[in-house]
Amino acid sequence: MSTPVLQLDSLERHFTASGGTVRAADGVTLTVGRGEVVGLVGESGSGKSTVGRCAVRLDEPTGGTVRINGTDVTTMSRRSLRPLRKDFHLVFQDPSSSLDPRMTVGQIVAEPLRLHGIAKGEAARARVAELLAQVGLRPEHADRHPHELSGGQRQRISIARALSVDPALLVADEPTSALDVSVQASVLNLLADLQRDRGFGCLFITHDLAAVEYLADRIAVMYLGQIVEQAPTAELFADPKHPYTQALLSAAPVPDPVTQRTRERIVLSGELPSPLAPPPGCRFHTRCPLAVDRCRTEIPALRTLDSGREVSCHLVADDGTAPDAAAPRPADAETSLRTIPHSRPASA
């Protein structure tokens, strides 16, 4: 098996705040293989972007390890890390704030080529023209400034800049959330085409379930700083095991209005708990409709089921038998929930 382009082992990122310590990422273990797209989903505040920033060392991990192409970069100095930075890049959520307004598009895209000593002068200009063409822009765009372009065009520039040095890993942090709905699909198609042609690994961070279903090979679901489920995309959407994943997918709109009206919606009570004071035991138990006494006191391990998927839930059996959060709760939840098969409409 080839070395993953990204390997996070028990990653932690804690922030000191006036009220205590915010555990934004708390023991996250995740890999991205070569040529693989891994989606990272969850509610706002679950820690997705923090994981992405730690993966490319824009944030310093509090604990755990980050490996890029097998090299431990967790504690590398900036000087030691600089030659390796061409192997991984980040596409930010908002291109309006991530592109230097004083630079032309050509200068922005050429900057990584210059910093890593890959090309300069005419060779750099030719490379910039090639990259702009690959992301659907014209050569004359190289002479414009970011403010002269649309949001979708600016995000294409961000993608061209990130791919200018042929990285092995691309971390895309909500790359379409700041764009108009009309251009989101074109940017997703662009990412899919480039990933297929170039074969880079991609950590795709999003709260858009339709986007991650379209783009990702595998999905990891985060809740309050921890991963609660990982599975291949088709398996996760067809049969989510963790009650939080079930609720998350039930809230996603579907194109078929009949299915949208008739399918059961799992409505969670309460708000996402504060990361300053996460609940004891399972962090989801305060909102879980199936929580039992064990959930309130014992932290569930993220374990591998017989099928190979990973789930962090006391109520999911090793053979994959899982409770249905949309079903009426039995009187004896501790024993009987394990025997309730989960089913959902195929279109969900």
> Region 114-141: what's the mean pLDDT?
94
Instruction: State how far Cα 158 lies from the chain centre.
Output: 18
> Region 7-26: what's the mean pLDDT?
92
Write out pLDDT tens, residues 262-276.
Answer: 556 777 777 788 888
Band the pLDDT of 332: cuts 50, 70, 90.
very low
pTM flag (> 0.85): yes
The pLDDT score that the predictor gives to residue 257 is 56
The pLDDT score that the predictor gives to residue 329 is 55
Instruction: State how far Cα 173 lies from the chain centre.
Output: 7
Output the six-digit token pair for 176. 């379409």
Output the six-digit token pair for 154. 């600016």
Band the pLDDT of 346: cuts 50, 70, 90.
very low
Q: Which residue has the higher pLDDT, 263 or 16?
A: 16
% of the chain exceeding 90 in pLDDT: 74
Question: b/e for 249-258, b at 16 or more Cβ within 10 A?
Answer: bbeeeeeeee
Helical H segments across 17-98, by residue range? 48-55, 78-81, 95-98
Radius of gyration of the chain (CA): 21
> H or E stretch including 218?
strand 218-223
- Residue 17 main-chain phi, psi, to 5 deg: -125, 170
| 3-state DSSP assignment of residue 50 | helix
Write out pLDDT tens, residues 42-81.
Answer: 988 899 999 999 999 999 999 999 999 999 999 999 999 9
Is residue 334 scored above 60 in pLDDT? no
* Kind of pairing between the strands at 6-17 and 218-223: unpaired
Question: What's the mean pLDDT when you consider all of the chain?
Answer: 88
Write out pLDDT tens, residues 194-212.
Answer: 999 999 999 999 989 999 9
- Residue 35 main-chain phi, psi, to 5 deg: 75, 10
Band the pLDDT of 328: cuts 50, 70, 90.
low
Is residue 100 scored above 80 in pLDDT? yes
79 Cβ neighbours under 8 A, 6+ residues apart: none
Is residue 111 scored above 70 in pLDDT? yes
Is residue 337 scored above 50 in pLDDT? no
Write out pLDDT tens, residues 240-254.
Answer: 999 999 999 987 766
- Which of the listed ranges 33-42, 266-275, 324-333 does the model predict with the highest average pLDDT? 33-42
The pLDDT score that the predictor gives to residue 19 is 79
Q: Domains in the chain, ordered, with CATH?
A: 6-102+150-216 (3.40.50.300), 234-339 (no CATH)
Is residue 21 scored above 50 in pLDDT? yes
- Residue 217 main-chain phi, psi, to 5 deg: -85, -30
Instruction: State how far Cα 46 lies from the chain centre.
Output: 11
Is residue 4 scored above 70 in pLDDT? yes
Neighbours of 54 (CB within 10 A): 25
Q: Which residue has the higher pLDDT, 66 or 98?
A: 66
| 3-state DSSP assignment of residue 170 | strand
Is residue 237 scored above 50 in pLDDT? yes
**What residues pair up with 63 in beta bridges, in sequence order?**
12
- For residues 193 and 16, is the Cβ–Cβ distance under 8 A? no
Residue 338 and residue 313: Cα distance in Å, rounded?
Answer: 11
First vs last C-alpha separation in the chain: 33
The pLDDT score that the predictor gives to residue 325 is 75
Band the pLDDT of 35: cuts 50, 70, 90.
very high
The pLDDT score that the predictor gives to residue 250 is 86
Is residue 214 scored above 50 in pLDDT? yes
Output the six-digit token pair for 14. 């804690």
- For residues 300 and 312, is the Cβ–Cβ distance under 8 A? yes
- For residues 330 and 314, is the Cβ–Cβ distance under 8 A? no
Neighbours of 274 (CB within 10 A): 14
CA angle 308/313/315 to nearest 5° reads 105
- For residues 224 and 189, is the Cβ–Cβ distance under 8 A? no
Q: Which residue has the higher pLDDT, 342 or 58?
A: 58
The pLDDT score that the predictor gives to residue 269 is 75
- Residue 83 main-chain phi, psi, to 5 deg: -65, -25
Residue 264 and residue 228: Cα distance in Å, rounded?
Answer: 22
Inter-CA distances, 194 with 164, 188, 189, 256, 327, Å: 12, 10, 9, 30, 42
The pLDDT score that the predictor gives to residue 263 is 56
- Residue 197 main-chain phi, psi, to 5 deg: -75, -40
Is residue 157 scored above 70 in pLDDT? yes
The pLDDT score that the predictor gives to residue 1 is 63
Helical H segments across 95-205, by residue range? 95-98, 105-115, 121-134, 151-163, 181-198
